[in-house]
Structure 1
Amino acid sequence: MSIVIFCVSMAPGKYDEKSLPPHGLHLHKNTQILYGAENAVGKGVEFMKNVKHKMDITFDHKAPSIVIEIPQYYNGYADILKKGGKIRCITEITKENLHYCEELVKTVTELRHMDGLKGGIAINEAEYMATTVLQEAQPLTEVIYSNVDAVVAQGQFIFDTLWKNATVAQKKIKELKEGIKSYETKLITESNDSLIETELGRIVRDSSEINIYTSIDGLRINKNYLIESITHALANERINAHKRIRILVEINRDNLEIIKELLYLGIQIRHSQDISSIDYTVTNSDLIIAVQRTEKNDPSDSILYSNDPSYLDHFTNVFEEMWKNSKDPERVIKSLEEETELSFIETIDDPAESVKLIRTLISSAKYEILGILPNFNSFLRQVESGMMEFMKTISLSKKNVNIRILIVEETDNEMQHKILTVFDKFNGNIPGSSNFGEVPLEFQFKDVENFKLKVLNSRLFTEIGFLIVDKNKSLIIESKNIASIDMVKSIGLSSYSNSHRISKSYASIFEALWTQSELYDKLKVQDRLQKEFINIAAHELRNPVQSLLGYSDILMNTTGNIESYSNFIVTINQSTKRLARLIDKVLDVTQLENELLILNKENFSLDKLVIEIVREYNNNIHLLNKNQLEIRYDSRLNDCNNINSESNRNFGYVFADRTRIIQVIMNILENAVEFTEKGTITLRLNENMTTHEVLLTINDSGSGIDPEILPNLFTKFVSKSRKGTGLGLYISKKIIEAHKGTIWAENCYNRNNKIIGSKFTLIIPSKDN
C-alpha cells in the first residue's frame, strides 16, 4: 500500500512576500515551508521541545535510522519521555531496518507497523509537521510546519485513522526474525484501478487454482481485468493441468459473449442463479473481494484483500458448495440462443414471498390459471386476504384467461352455503338469496364466464395447494393445518418451477380431479333424476294398469251386447297404448345407450310428413280438451318462397328413418301441447340448398321452458311435467344426432323480457330426389 502524506493548506494572513526570509515564514498562527537541513532539523527540535503530553508521528522505513543515529532527534524523544509525555509512532518495519526498529521500540511509548508508508507527519498538542521522502541516516531537508488549529486537527485525524489500521510492532518484528508468514486483511482503496488490477493480475499469474465468484455486472465490469490478466498468464496457450481457473456466474444475454470468450480460453464456467452482488476471487493463498460500487456500471471503488487461512477456507467452501449445485453452461447458452427459458426449481421458505409470487404468477397469466385449495379453510383464507377479489379483477381484465379453482375436501351443505354466500357478496346479491339446492354448484362471479370454482366432494386428504399458470409455471404450497384464517401464517414451504414438463404434469393431476368433480356432480344429478323418474314411472304405470284391471273386470262380469261397452274398450285401448309408449321409451333408451339403434333410412318428403302429423293432431285436438289451441304449419323455400299449395310441394326431402323422425316430432309436439293452454303451435320448414340441410322449427305460445332445466333439457329424466318420464327429449336428441343432425331449444321473449313461449329447432341432412 502506498500512502503519501502532504499538506498544502495555508493559513490566511497579511504579509509582504518580498520580506520573506529564504528559510520560511514566521507568523504567530501560520503555515511554513522550511528548506535546508539546518532549518528543518531546528524546527524539528523546537517541535519536540513544545510537546507537553504527547507526540504522534509517522515516517517511512528509512526514518528509524534517522531517529536512532541523529542525536538531536534521539535526545528530543528521550526528553519527551522524561517529562512524562507519550510518543506513538508508525513506520514500515522491514528486514533492512529491523535493527533500528528494535531500538525504536525502546525509544517510543508504542510502535506500530504499516506497509508502504512514504514521508511522514508529526502532531503535538498545537503543532503539525509533514516531511517529504527521507534518506536513510540523513536529517530532514524539507518540512511543512503549521500551528493553525484546522491543520493540526486534520493531521490528528489522519494519524488516528492510520493507527487503527496499523500492526503491533512486536508481531511484525517476530514474523521477520522467525520467518513466519504474515497474515493480513486490508482494504485497498485507490482513485484509479491500477493497484486493483495489479493484485488481480498477480493472483492470476502466480496461482495454480483460481476460483472466481461474480455477479453479472461484476463479470461485465471486470471483463478487461479478467481477460487481460488471464490471457497474459496463459501466454496464448490453453489451460493445462498446472493451472485451473473456475468462474461461477449467472449467465444471461448481457454477459453471453464474455462467457463464450472465457470458455474459448479453456476456463471452466458454471451457471448459478444464486449469485449475490458480492464479487470475489479466492485461491489457495489469496482472497480479493470487491466491496463497493458507486454506480452500476463503474468498477469497484475498493477491494478487500486477505491471505488469512480462515477467510480462505470459508470462501473456498462456499464456492465449492455453489459449484456442486450449479449448471452446465452449454445448456444455458443453448437456451439463451434459442430464446427459451431455462428450467429451474426453487424452494421458498418465506410465506410472504410465496403470497407475493402467487399474485405475480396470476397477473402474468396469458390463457389459463388452475388452482387447487386443499380444504375449505384455505378458501376462507383466500377470501380474507383479498385473493378472491384479486382473481375477480384478473378474470374481468383478462377475458381470454380461463380460471378454474378446485376445493379438494368433502364439504357439507353448510360449507357450500357459506361459499354461495361469499359469491352473493361478490355479485352484489343479498347474502343467502340465491337458490341453493342439494346438487353441488359450480360457483361463478356475476357476468364472468371465464371463472369457475368447484368443490370436489372427496375424502382425498391433502395438505398442499397447487397453482399452475399457462402449463408453464407451477407453485406447490404447503398448507399448515391451523385454525387461523391468516393466509401468510398458514403457508409453510413452497416449491416454484418454470419447467413446462413439471407444470404440465401438475395440470394433468388438476384435470383428473376436475373431471372427477364433474362426474361426481353428474352422478348426484343422475341419482336425483333417477329417483324422480322412478316416482313418475310408477305413476305412469299405476294409472293405466288400474284402468286396465278395473274395466277388464267389469267386462268379464258383464253380459250383453259388446257395443254398449265401447267406452270401456276405448279406455282399455288408450291405457294399453300408454303402457306401450312407456315400454318403447325404456327400450329406446337401452338401445341408444348401448349404441344398438338401427336406422332404416329412406328418401322421403319431410314437408308432406309434417302436413300429415299436423292434420292428425288437429283432428284429435278436441280429445285433449284443448279447444282454444291451434296447430299451424308454414313451409318456406330458402326463407322466401311460400309453398303451401299441394302442387308446389316438391322440397324438404331428407334421407332418414321415417318412423324415428315421426317419433321426434311427436315428442316435441306432445310437450308443446301439454304446456300450451291456448294460442298457437306453429311448425315451419326451410331448406338450405347450399348446405343440403332441412330445418324444422316448432314454436309454441305456452309457458316456456323452466330456465333451471333448460341447460340439461335433453338429458335423461329431466322433466317438469307431472305426466312425463323425462325420456322423450333425451331420446329425440339421440335420434337426431344419429342422423348427423342437431337439435336445440330456447325460450321466446317479448319486449319486456317475459317468456311468451318456446322454440325447438331440428336440422336434418337432406338428399336431392
Structure 2
Amino acid sequence: MILSSFRILDNQKDITKSFTRLLYNAVNHLDGFGITDRTPLILESEVIRGCIRNLRNLGKRVRYITNIEDANIGSCKKISEIVELRHLDNIQGGIIINDFEYLGLLESRNDGPNSNPIHIYSKNKWLVEQQRLIFDMLWEKAIPAKIRVKQIEQGLERDVCELITDENSITTKYEQALRSLVKELCIFYSASEGDVPNERIVQKISEIIIHISKSKLKDIKIIIIVLTNGSINGTAPLTGFSHISQDYDVRIKYMTKEAVNFQLSRDLMILTVDRKELFISELKNFEDISRCIFENDINFTIHSNSGSVVSTYNTILEMLWRQDEIYKKSEMAITQLKLQDKLQKEFVHNFANGLRNPLQPILGFSEILVEKKEEFSRYGDVFDIINACAQKLAKHVNNMIAITEIENETFILNKETFDLVKLIRDITKQIKKNILSITKKNLSISTNVDSMMINADKNRIKFTIENVITNAVDIPNSNNIKILVETTRSSSSQNGDKNQCFVIVTIMDDGTGIDRMILPRLFSKFVADSRDGLGLGLYLAKNIIERHGGEMWAENNENGKGATIRFSLPIN
C-alpha cells in the first residue's frame, strides 16, 4: 500500500503530466524550490503561468526559492512578478508541493542530450507534510528576491547572520575580520566572576589586538569597555596596555555592573569591526582559560554583517561608553535639585522673617501711638520707623509679584525718557533721609556729566538702584558708599557694537565684601548674603538691566575692603 503511493518518473511525458496535474490540483498553496536557468519553464509555459495566475487571483500563496546570481538575475526578476520569490545560497535539487501532492527531483542524468532526470511523485500524506516542513524551514532562512537583486545590482555585500560553533571556523572568521580592519575596533568584555584580576582581562583583550596588522595599528582607534562584578583597579586601564605603543589610539573604560544595572551569568565578548561587522561570543569561565582566547576559549559565536544589526550594537556600546558621563550629569542634576530645594526652604524661612520683622515695629509703635494720641508731636522718629518698615514690607511683596511676572513671561517694561543722574540724586536724598539719618553712614555721588537722558522703565530702574544702594548700606562695617556715573562706548564684555554708548553706574562700599562662595551665584534666585534678605532683589535687578540691553556684574574690591556692583544701560 505504501509503495503504491509513490511513482518513479523517468520520461519527460510522465514528468510533464504529473507536474501539470499538481498545478491544477493546488487548492490553498503551491510551494517549490529549485535551480533557475536562463530559460526557466515557469516563464516558457503558458499553462504553468495560467495555473499560478488563477491561484493568485483566488488569494492563494505561490512561493518559490532559488539561487539568484548574475547569470539568472533577469529571469528571476521576471519570476518575482509572478510568484513570491526568495533567494537561498547553494540551493540544490527541486520540489513542487501543493496541498496533497509532492513532485521532487530524485536524480539528474547526464547520459546524453536526450536523457531525462528522474523524479518522484507521491500523494503520501506523511511525505507531503515532511517536505512542506522542510520547505518552510528553507523559506524562513531565505532572503527576499528584491534584497538579493539589490545586492547584485549595487555590488553590496550580502547580509549574514550566522551561529558558529566550530572552533576552527570561529578562529578563521575573527582573524579575517581583524586583518581587514581599517579604522575602528570596539571590544566589549563582560566577566561574570567577581574576583577576576584586571591583568587577566587585559591579557585576553591584548591577544585579540595582536591579530591586527602592525602596519595598520597606528591608524586604528581601539575602544575597550570592560564590565566586571568586582572592584575596579583605577590604574589598570592605564598600565594594562603599557606594552602597546603610546602612539596607538587605545581607549579603555572599566565599569561595574552595579553602576550600569547590567547583569550577565556568562562571560561575554562583543566586537564590532569598522562599524560593519559584528561578533558576539560566549566565553568559557576564566578558571578554565589558560591558553590564547582563540584556543578552545569560545563556546559559540554569532557573526553578522547586517547593517541594521551592527548599527544597533554600535549604538548600545556607545551608550555604555557614555554611561559615566550620564551618571556624572545625573549626580550634578541631583545636587542642583538638592541645592535648589535647600534654597527654597531658606527662602520660605527668610520670607516669613522678612514679613514678620517689619510687622513687629509697625504693630508695637502703632500701639504706642494709640495710647499717646495727644502727644503725636513727640513721636516723629516713630513715624519714620513705621514708614520705613511698611516700605520694606511692600518691597518684599512687590519683589514676589515681579518674580511671578518674569517666570510667567508677563514682565513688561514701560519705557519713558528721563534723567538718570537726577533719579540717582533723588534716590540718595530719600535714602539719606530715611536710613542714613539713623545709621549715620556716608553716601557720596560722583559723575562726569550733570545730566544723562535715557529711555527706560523709570520705576524698574529706580528699584534697581535703590536695591543695590540699600544692600550696600546694610552691609556690616560699611561706613562709606560711593556712587559713580560715567559714559563709555561699549559695556563690560558682551556687546560687540563699538558705536553704542553706554552709561555705567558703579556702587562701591567699604564693608566686609561678598562671601567668595556666594559671589559666583550672587545674582541667582534665592541667594542672599545676609539673614534679612530674601535673595530676590539682585536677581530682579539683573533681569531688569538685561531686559534693557545692559549688563550687571559684581566683584570684591582689590584692597580687600568691600565690594563693587556695576550695571550698564544703553544711551539712545
Q: TM-score, normalised by structure 1?
A: 0.37
Give the structure with higher Rg (CA): 1
Relative contact order higher in (CA < 8 Å, ≥ 6 apart): 2
